[in-house]
Amino acid sequence: MTTHDNDAFKPIATVDLAIFSLTPAGLSVLLVRRTSAPFAGDWALPGGWIHIDEDADLEAAARRVLKEKTGVETPYLEQLQTTGNRDRDPRGWSISIVYIALLSADDVAERQDAMAEEAEWRPIEGEGVGLSLAFDHAALLKEALGRIRSKVEYSSLPGHLLPVRFTLSELQSVYESLLGRKLDKSAFRKRMAEADFLEPVEGEMRRASNRPAQVFRLKDTRSLVLFDRRI
Amino acid sequence: MTTHDNDAFKPIATVDLAIFSLTPAGLSVLLVRRTSAPFAGDWALPGGWIHIDEDADLEAAARRVLKEKTGVETPYLEQLQTTGNRDRDPRGWSISIVYIALLSADDVAERQDAMAEEAEWRPIEGEGVGLSLAFDHAALLKEALGRIRSKVEYSSLPGHLLPVRFTLSELQSVYESLLGRKLDKSAFRKRMAEADFLEPVEGEMRRASNRPAQVFRLKDTRSLVLFDRRI
DNA sequence: CGGCCTTAGTGTAAATATTCAACTAAGTTA
DNA sequence: TAACTTAGTTGAATATTTACACTAAGGCCG
């Protein structure tokens, strides 16, 4: 938390991040332990004040916080929502702009060293982490989970939890893990083809002690949406 | 724009509203003409600074602005997105939390007198109003339209543009108008039944020079979402 | 080398959903 | 009372989804 010379901006707005990744325990969120009041000692979503002298925009602020906590520079990032009221922080009126970030499993593995010491991955159980969180962060986390689970149904979002290159089966496993149910292989394949989220990596196959699988990558760094005529 | 005594909060965050209604020209947005710099004389989305002494939370701030401009107190309100950077306002870093509000045609008719003088309904053409707007408001309006058009496909949002009581045909017309295409009557009826957005108003029928139609109302003041298994 | 195991990827028949258009219903108007 | 208008229903043709079996292509092991 830096002090600002710029008199025009008393920091009152923070950027908070719900950073998700797939760990062996399933979908997990990164939490940090607060070191100062209020809520000292409690777990919280990583966040920080906006620095109007450093941050070009809100997304840049979110990237900076992410970099500080995890070392990752190019995550999937999506704005979730903004809350502001006088109750969420005992110090008074404050605004929090919440972002969702998705990290791939190898992002997490590679940067284990860069990760902030007081930070920890916590597996998701139901609508939260089974832990009381600082501020209104439990509610923010619940919203973030709702967004993620809803976007599984109609977007390429789950692909951002995998490394850049993956097979269809690996992707299907992520969808299944987020949805909490098994999917039909042939239907999944057809849906992905129609949705046009994926690009085969020419000539590259994943080989194991069985038939090799085509390797794919996402066509876009954003989460693409599948449009259907519903009405 | 009031001055704040509270030293802890130099206003830097505004709430801006994309207020929509159905006018004879179709979907329209409420614009106000700016009276002071920057962008004096330009059209803009209605908005205002957040008053931490008056506004319990961001949504309350949005309701206050709406009331000031239109006289309407209980609109449909939904948070769209938050932008913040140093370019959107020539005076420096600023944050805008944007809300979408939907007014019913009779809200608008009844409160014609309460409506701010410098405000005007502008019909939507394509992705905007064919008018250059102050700040980054043209981009914000475009985002708002994207959100609305996407939610037509899977939510009860269009119902909030109608008076509290309406017939299925009236509702279908709104969907058609927002989608820009005709829908099948029987498919629409079936979809609405499955979606469970609507509640028949017992015994109440809309009578004209033809067979009377059942009157419905929305089950909820929020926009309910239709969940389908897509994958 | 050749059979076996495993996972990749395809095919297909049955069940379900969508579409399109005609039909019946219930009022007002002349 | 017949014509007209919009509400609401029905059903056959068509398209899509689902469930599951089948074929493909490797490595492994005797």
pLDDT at A226: 87
Cα three-residue angle A196-B177-B151, rounded to 5 degrees: 45
H/E/C letters for each residue in A100-126? EEECCHHHHHHCCCCCCCCEEEEECEC
Return phi, psi of residue A219, to 5°: -75, -20
Q: What is the pLDDT of residue B1?
A: 40
CA distance A58 to A89: 20
In DSSP terms, B78 is beta-bridged to: B100
The interface residues of chain B toward chain A in range 65-84, judged by CB-CB distance below 8 A, are 79, 81-84
- B173 burial via Cβ count (<10 Å: 0-12, 13-18, 19+): middle
Residue pLDDT, tens place only, A46-94: 999 999 999 999 999 999 999 999 999 989 999 999 999 999 999 989 9
Specify whether the CB–CB gap between B32 and B133 falls below 8 A.
Answer: no
Do B153 and A12 lie within an 8 Å CB cutoff?
no
Whole-number CA gyration radius for chain B: 19
* ipTM for the whole complex: 0.91
Spans in chain B with pLDDT lower than 50: 1-8
Of A58, A175, A231, the CB nearest to B175: A231
pLDDT > 70? residue A7? no
Percentage of residues of chain A with pLDDT beyond 70: 95
pLDDT in tens, A171-199: 999 999 999 999 999 999 999 999 999 99
Interchain contact A182–B (C-beta under 8 A): no
B179-199: pLDDT as tens digits: 999 999 999 999 999 999 999
Residue A38 has a CB neighbour count (10 Å cut-off) of 11
- Residue type, position A45, single letter: L
- Report pLDDT for A10: 60
pLDDT at B117: 78
Domains of chain A and CATH, by start:
13-152 (3.90.79.10), 157-218 (1.10.10.10)
Nucleotide whose C1' lies closest to the alpha carbon of residue B185:
D8
User: Could you read off the pLDDT of B81-120 as tens digits, one per residue?
Assistant: 999 999 999 998 999 999 999 999 888 888 877 777 789 9
pLDDT at res. A6: 44
Quote the pLDDT of residue A116.
75
Q: Which candidate, B38, B103, B31, places its Cα nearest to that of B71?
A: B103
DSSP A87: S
CA of A127 to C1' of D27 (A): 42
What is the distance in angstroms between the Cα of A68 and the nearest Cα belonging to chain B? 20
* Token digits of residue B222: 């929020």
Whose tokens are 């394949």? That residue is: A189
How many C-alpha atoms does B224 have within 13 Å on its Cβ side?
A: 14
- Count CB atoms within 10 A of the CB of residue B224: 18
Identify the closest residue of chain B to A8 by CA–CA distance. B10
DSSP code string of B117-157 = TTEEEEE-BTTB-SS-BSTTHHHHHHHHHHHHHHHHTTBSG
User: Residue A231 has what pLDDT?
Assistant: 77
Q: Which residue has the tokens 């809100």?
A: A58
Contact A57 B179 (CB under 8 A): no
- What is the edge-to-edge ordering of all strands in the sheet holding A166-167? A166-167, A210-218, A198-208
pLDDT in tens, A133-179: 999 999 999 999 999 999 999 999 999 999 999 999 999 999 999 99
Cross-chain Cβ contact A79/B79 below 8 Å: no
